[in-house]
Copies of this chain bind each other. A is one copy, B any other.
Amino acid sequence: MTSLNIGLIGTGYMGKCHALAWNAVAAVFGDVARPRLAVLAEHSQELAETKAQELGFVRATGDWRSLVNDPAVDVVSITTPNAFHPEMAIAALEAGKHVWCEKPMATKLADAERMLAAARASGKVAALGYNYIQNPTIRLMRRLIDEGQIGKVNHVRLEMDEDFMADPEALFYWKSEASSGHGALDDFGVHPLSLVWTLFGGVRRVCGHMAKPYADRPVQGGGRRSVETYDIATVLMELDSGVSGVMALNRSAWGRKGRIALQLFGSKGTIVYDQERMNEVQLYTVDRVKETQGFRTILTGPQHPPYDKFIPAPGHGLGFNDLKIIECRELIRRIGGESAHLIEFEDGIRIERTVDAIARSAYEGRWVEV
């Protein structure tokens, strides 16, 4: 396979994560050409140059449009704030580039639909950065479900909680403004929904509720400002398959740091998972012997691919950044024409539509069809 030329826009949280993945993917997997880290864009030339040196990119630019139009670029990693995704992704696709865009697609459903249209028109790969689905634990769960090891799934519980908004005296900032979206629902909800999509497919009907733990927050310089977004969201769901679901989201959840919890109940067993212990899966399956029944804690290891590409010994632990390396490998596979374990715009739009339906449902106080 020939080497891919990479352009990266943004070097914040996920920008660095993409850069680390592009740096590592060839050495970890050993079966792909080493990507060429071609161009890095930041909002100033100066910052771009500093970051290009740190992250190993050959060139730097303060103008992202020059990057997406650069003939030396094959793939564009888009890691800027969500509001910029539509413009950048559409420009890159129109310039004939493959796109790897961080989730969610956009802050408004209409923009996401436009992005999908651009992807279809371009014929290029348009992938989303849903790295949690890359955890070998999730692949294991899907295999267990597909093989019927917990029977027919009939009930699903989803939670996602962090505490970065939990302090009521933290200053008002953009995440409390209505322009940023609904709140926990779109900020967090796409993650558990990406797992639902990967494991079960789509959602049919929803009934949501949203709450503000704090009515207002202090403003820099004095005074307080009303909070416009909802840090808490709860949702009743029916999946396409008819399965009963419930989802709870809270970005003001003191003590929770990166909790994405699943409970999957089936006719023959149960799976329980929490991303805060990302190398473990709890599995209960019905046995003939009742005395020794119990949830088993499965530690991931080389028997759960592609863990084996990272470490030959079991139980030694992958980290968050490793998930992006796996995603990067899947993207390369997809660009090469192979089937890949990846959420592309075609599927991602389903997640965005579900979020939109939940929001409408919450505002209107009723069940809504997705």
Contact = CB atoms under 8 A, between A and B. Distances in A.
A43 interface: no
Interface string A132-167: 000000001001100001110011010100101011
A172 interface: no
A19 interface: yes
B23 A19 contact: no
A151 to B, nearest CB: 8
Interface string A348-367: 00000000000000000111
Nearest to A246: B234
Nearest to A321: B310
A27 to B, nearest CB: 5
Interface string A277-288: 111010111100
B322 A284 contact: no
Interface in A277-311: 277-279, 281, 283-286, 290-299, 301, 303-304, 310-311
A149 B289 CA distance: 12
Nearest to A320: B316
A258 B313 contact: yes
A286 B167 contact: yes
A236 interface: yes
Nearest to A22: B27
Interface residues of A, number: 99
A277 B358 CA distance: 35
B56 A254 contact: no
A248 B284 CA distance: 19
A26 interface: yes
Contact of A254 (B270, B314, B319): B270
A207 B290 CA distance: 37
A150 B255 CA distance: 11
A257 interface: yes
A338 interface: no
Interface in A319-359: 319-322
Task: Work out how many copies of this chain go into the complex.
Answer: 4
A180 interface: no
A244 interface: yes
B315 A258 contact: yes
Contacts of A150: 254
A120 interface: no
A255 B232 contact: no
Contacts of A310: 319-321
Contact of A27 (B34, B56, B164, B248): B56
A83 interface: no
Nearest to A20: B27
Interface string A241-282: 001111010101111111100000111111000001111010
A222 interface: no
B253 A265 contact: yes
A211 to B, nearest CB: 4
Contacts of A155: 211, 213, 232, 250, 252-253
A68 interface: no
21 contacts: A16-B27, A27-B54, A144-B292, A149-B292, A155-B211, A155-B252, A164-B313, A213-B265, A232-B265, A236-B236, A252-B265, A255-B269, A255-B294, A256-B270, A285-B292, A291-B298, A294-B296, A296-B296, A317-B320, A319-B320, A366-B366
A171 interface: no
